[in-house]
Amino acid sequence: MFAPLIDVLGGRRLCVITGAGISTDSGIPDYRGPDSPPRNPMTYQQFTGDPEFRRHYWARNHLGWRHMDAARPNSGHRALAGLERAGVASAVVTQNVDLLHTKAGSRRVIDLHGTYAQVRCLTCNALISRATLADRLERANPGFAETVAAAQGVEIAPDADAVVTSTEHFRMVDCEACGGMLKPDIVYFGESVPKPRVAAAYDVVDEAEALLVAGSSLTVMSGLRFVRRAAKRGIPIAIVNRGATRGDEFATLTVHAGCSEALTALLDASSALPA
């Protein structure tokens, strides 16, 4: 099944773009997969402009981030780390915030949208760990996580979020340094990816001899721009995703399959893909 993928990428140094579909086998749902329920992620404007949206977000995140922190890499993540060690994959540019590529052992990872593990003050730009904030939120909301989990159960949503219906009594906390608004160090919808991060990702696309997209629908420009860059360069583009993507028109090959299986097959054939 994966022989065409190996044929297209064989003997070429790869840049890999990943999306939420690579992490579903680790128990983290995606936004737009064929079996995914409709989801409406919070926008930057909602988060910063409405205290009720913000409080609801932090209550959900207080539960969800723990599950993301506990998630472990699957065979797809491990295969990409193996391809890097073999000199086949030069870098991973991920749209995910789950840190699973780093946990799997990939060394050159560009976290395009940031990660769940840090929180930034929007006033003084101070960074703290999500674990530190968890301690503060727990002190401000003793027993909240246990009570909600027992009463409602916990359904995990993407981006370190959880589905929680009752949050009206949840108390937020502000930056200890300046009293400013705290926000996960994640690029929200309606917010731009930092320019240095985009430039670094363009650099690895420009270094590559082929581009592999794994588990992304490429619906937003954040990922699609790199496919367009590779197409402009004229290098082969292979897309592995369970459904159609916005980048299919640029692809040399599309494979409708799970990332774990496809990337494992690619790793197994890595002796045919010299660095």
Question: Is 15 annotated in some ligand binding site?
Answer: no
Q: Where are the alpha helices (DSSP H) in 183-220?
A: 195-207
- Would you state the pLDDT for residue 159? 65
| Residue 259 marked ligand-binding | yes
pLDDT at residue 273, rounded to an integer: 44
Per residue in 146-180, pLDDT (tens digit) is 777 654 555 666 566 666 666 778 999 999 999 99
186 is in an annotated binding site: no
Residue 151: predicted pLDDT: 45
Edge-to-edge order in the sheet of strand 114-121:
127-129, 114-121, 182-186
Tens of pLDDT, residues 233-242:
999 999 999 9
39 labelled ligand-binding: yes
Residue that has been written with the tokens 């159609």 in this structure? 244
Q: Which residues are catalytic?
A: 113
- Which residues of the chain, if any, have pLDDT below 70? 31-40, 149-166, 271-275
> Among positive and negative, which fits the CA dihedral 104, 65, 163, 146?
positive
Hey, what are 251's tokens?
């692809």
Domains of the chain: 1-28+73-113+193-275 (3.40.50.1220), 37-70+114-186 (3.30.1600)
